[in-house]
Amino acid sequence: MSRSTLLHEGWTLRAEPGRQVPPEIAGTPVPAVVPGCVHTDLLAAGLIPDPYLDDNETALAWIGRTDWVYQTSFDAPDGDHDRVDLVCAGLDTVATVTVNGVEVGRTANMHRGYRFDVGASLRPTGNTLSVRFDSAYRYAEAQRDRLGDRPNAYPEPFPFIRKMACNFGWDWGPTLVTAGIWQSIGLHAWSSARLATVRPLVTVDGTDGRVELHVEVERATDTPLTVRAAVAGGAAEATIPAGQRAAVLTVSVREPALWWPRGYGDQARHDLDVTLAGPDGGTLDAWNRRIGFRSVHLDTTPDPHGAAFTLHVNDVPVFVRGVNWIPDDAFPTRITRERLAHRFDQAVGANINLLRVWGGGRYESEDFYDLADSLGVLVQQDFLFACAAYPEEEPIAAEVAAEAAEQVVRLAPHPSLVLWTGNNENIWGWHDWDWQEPLAGRTWGRGYYLDVLPRTVAELDPTRPYWPGSPWSGSEEIHPNDPAYGTTHIWDVWNTDDYTKYRAYVPRFVAEFGWQAPPAYATLRRALSDDPLAHDSPGMAHHQKAIDGDLKLQRGVDAHLPAPADFDDWHYLTQLVQARAMQVGIEHFRSHRDVCSGTIFWQLNDCWPVTSWSAVDGDGRRKPMWYAVRRAYADRLLTVQPRPDGLAVVAVNETADRWRTPVTVTRSTLDGEPRAKATLEVDVPAYASVTLVLPADLAGPDEPRGELLVADAGDGAERALWLFAEDRDVRWPAPALDAVVEPVDGGQRVRVTARSVLRDLTLFPDRLDASAEVDEALVTLLPGESATFTVRSGTPLDPAALTTRPVLRCVNDMKGRAPS
């Protein structure tokens, strides 16, 4: 049997001499954690400030332009083995590996693993392993100079190196160019043969499951081998004759329990065990994964609206309620399984059923995919190309091909993975971002997206669909971002327009759209030393990476809300606009579910404390937008929508059960006096929507600035609201309320009873205790109505502070609110 030994102990790190290296670091060995990276080791040693605080990021730019050497010592594995390999799961990025002073390998790709035969270089004890990392900047800039520059959304050389692109900075991320042994490293001692790759192609045929298992071996001796596989009561065996290196086994399983996306059924998984045996029957190697039996296909059939983009799992169409995912930390080794589990809980808590792993980050971890499998969260994985023209020349082309093959094989067992995407916005960029003239005929990535990658998926995992880009229309003859075909990104809304423009689109599938807001107040106070905080104070400005981001935030406030009088107002209002923008967009797209088959908003998470499009900020705190998304993505949605013939109530049902309920629609004054009222009977089939146009007396106000429309479902589902004027113009009364605070296990319950209308009532308990969280937000109450908020915190909070501004907020507490 083979033997594996991790080499994660005893490492040191040192900087190679360089002009920019601080004298206290130059030549000094630093304890190193493996897996890890240079930044986290220097931070742990107290040699650099936290790069996430204030503008420290800028002062640490030298790290990415320095060469670094990791070193440790180890003993050789006991016993006699035909081979001893050094297995490097992930080296970041341009590395030279030596054992006892002998070079055993070089790498230039963060996104793939490497295996080097080191047996001839080993002595029994006291071996020295060194990994030298050349500056990623110097390597990428040299490739750029050799191949010719390419257009790029950012002035950084990331397209010229196979490394996490967002290390070089993004419009939501810091520029922190890492180096290090970022995944496991160790020795694998083996004899005769080992399992090199195991590739299960899992399908469903009627009620039966089928696993077509492709096995490749690496040999040290030339003897017959036996491969055995077993799963869910089925088994198969194959012989690999001497001189051959591959076998295909097919395991059939009668009526296995299927794997379903969350909301459609259970997430049944089955252990798939594979063993490799020698001529004497002894086990040489073993492999195990949990698989799920399910089918997946993408319906792109042309129709009167253009062409569909509908995901089917087990032959059931799934309306995607998705969100984009970026790396959860700029330093990936700080992302623990526990942290990922919390982020998945936040996604599921917001009724999300798909995560799109964006192409400027990484191929996500086994922990990420195992959590997705267990929870029924679908995953769309981008190949790693984003927002730039990528060269197709060597050595990059060979790295891309090897990386793609490795990752397709690695992720094949996971039932949650339902779609591979070739790139993020690069085909769109070639069309619309003025790339063609500066490219002057040079390669830009087309060959990857339309040849190399689809061929790789087709050859190695034909059970899953591939889509060349996000966005992509399905054909080079149609503009890649045509909303009527395939997937579309909607960014004009954030960049140049108002969020109500989402209603101008009825797309087939929206793969990106979003609106910014600052992070939670406690996150800002931890990360910034600005005193006082202001939207344009130095730390706030440094942690706003989007072009004209603050101007766009202010444009959103100006279009809808009263003018902020101070930073507290600005913080609340910009977070409120973000929440409303996402609610308007999602509810509109869902109301057209007969045409639109999914939305993936930008974005769930952040990698550091920053003003961004996220629903969960860089410290893991939920913004008000998260609560708005939870409401907009609910299984059963009631929404008021403008239609050509007037206002309509739309009921959307994403459950397997018919939804029958009376809906009471009331047009009333702000003080709760009804002006018109009707009860509608809603009957929505499973996985469908129904639109009911409202009569004129409900849809037409007598006083637009003094009335609102409320639709309430009889079964207690979320109510839907419609205002006839913008909040800045509505004659909101000064807020009048009664608040009662009482202790509960782990926190406090706050019950608010409205004596006046209260618009978007929200609690911000993190202003009092950084650990505090609240279960609800953005609640509008009519006079006489009540709402209960449960606050969980590490310490009891002052009831008076908990129930007054700036902790308890509503639109009509604004000092600058519109006059009556």
pLDDT at 150: 97
The share of the chain scoring above pLDDT 70, in percent, equals: 99
Average of per-residue pLDDT values in the chain: 97
CA pair distance 553, 574, nearest whole angstrom: 6
pLDDT at 489: 98
Alpha helices in 549-683 (DSSP H): 549-560, 567-591, 624-632
Has residue 300 been placed in a domain? no
Q: Which two tokens stand for residue 392?
A: 């197709």
pLDDT in tens, 793-807: 989 999 999 999 999
493-523: string of b/e by CB count within 10 Å (b at 16+)?
bbeeebbbebbebbbbbbbbbbbbbbbbbbb
311 and 371 both lie in a single domain? yes
Q: Does position 820 have pLDDT exceeding 60, yes or no?
A: no
577 and 465 both lie in a single domain? yes
CA pair distance 436, 375, nearest whole angstrom: 44
Final residue before a domain boundary, out of 632, 658, 685 = 632
Q: Are 276 and 283 in contact (CB under 8 A)?
A: yes
Q: Are 560 and 593 in contact (CB under 8 A)?
A: no
Confidence band for 58, pLDDT divided at 50, 70 and 90: very high
pLDDT at 717: 66
3-class DSSP assignment, residue 769: coil
Amino acid (one-letter) located at 787: A
783 and 687 both lie in a single domain? no
Q: Crossing angle, helix 396-411 and helix 453-460, to 10 degrees?
A: 30
CA pair distance 410, 396, nearest whole angstrom: 21
Has residue 215 been placed in a domain? yes
Confidence band for 525, pLDDT divided at 50, 70 and 90: very high
pLDDT in tens, 177-194: 999 999 999 999 999 999
pLDDT in tens, 182-228: 999 999 999 999 999 999 999 999 999 999 999 999 999 999 999 99
Amino acid (one-letter) located at 735: P
CA pair distance 817, 561, nearest whole angstrom: 8
177 and 318 both lie in a single domain? no
pLDDT in tens, 546-587: 999 999 999 999 999 999 999 999 999 999 999 999 999 999
Q: Does position 461 have pLDDT exceeding 60, yes or no?
A: yes
Q: Crossing angle, helix 624-632 and helix 567-591, to 10 degrees?
A: 20
pLDDT at 441: 96
Beta bridge partners of 293: 258
Q: Are 629 and 583 in contact (CB under 8 A)?
A: yes
Q: Does position 819 have pLDDT exceeding 50, yes or no?
A: no
**CA-based nearest residue to 604, from 319, 371, 267, 340:** 340
Find the farthest-apart pair of alpha carbons in the chain and give their distance in angstroms, rounded.
91
User: What average pLDDT does range 651-675 have in this prediction?
Assistant: 96
Which residues, other chains included, contact 110 with Cβ-Cβ below 8 Å and sequence gap of 6+? 90, 91, 92, 93, 162, 163, 164, 182, 362
Find the length of the chain: 820
Q: Are 152 and 134 in contact (CB under 8 A)?
A: no
Confidence band for 714, pLDDT divided at 50, 70 and 90: confident
Final residue before a domain boundary, out of 632, 650, 681 = 632
83 and 229 both lie in a single domain? no
403 and 486 both lie in a single domain? yes
Has residue 802 been placed in a domain? yes
Beta bridge partners of 208: 205
Amino acid (one-letter) located at 175: T
324 and 440 both lie in a single domain? yes
Final residue before a domain boundary, out of 142, 165, 188 = 188
How many domains does the chain divide into?
5
Has residue 570 been placed in a domain? yes
Has residue 543 been placed in a domain? no
Q: Does position 739 have pLDDT exceeding 60, yes or no?
A: yes
CA pair distance 160, 576, nearest whole angstrom: 40
What is the domain-level CATH number for residue 284? 2.60.40.10
13 and 42 both lie in a single domain? yes
196 and 181 both lie in a single domain? no
What is the domain-level CATH number for residue 773? 2.60.40
User: What average pLDDT does range 752-774 have in this prediction?
Assistant: 98
Q: What is the pTM of this model?
A: 0.97
Beta bridge partners of 14: 69
3-class DSSP assignment, residue 691: strand
pLDDT at 815: 56
Q: Does position 371 have pLDDT exceeding 50, yes or no?
A: yes
β 747-754/737-744 pair status: antiparallel
348 and 480 both lie in a single domain? yes
pLDDT at 818: 43
- Boundaries of domain holding 133: 3-188
pLDDT at 816: 45
Has residue 670 been placed in a domain? yes
Q: Which two tokens stand for residue 495?
A: 């960049």
Has residue 529 been placed in a domain? no
CA pair distance 641, 720, nearest whole angstrom: 10
130 and 55 both lie in a single domain? yes
Has residue 732 been placed in a domain? no
Q: Which two tokens stand for residue 378?
A: 């679908």
Number of H helices, E strands in the chain: 18, 46
349 and 495 both lie in a single domain? yes
What is the domain-level CATH number for residue 99? 2.60.120.260
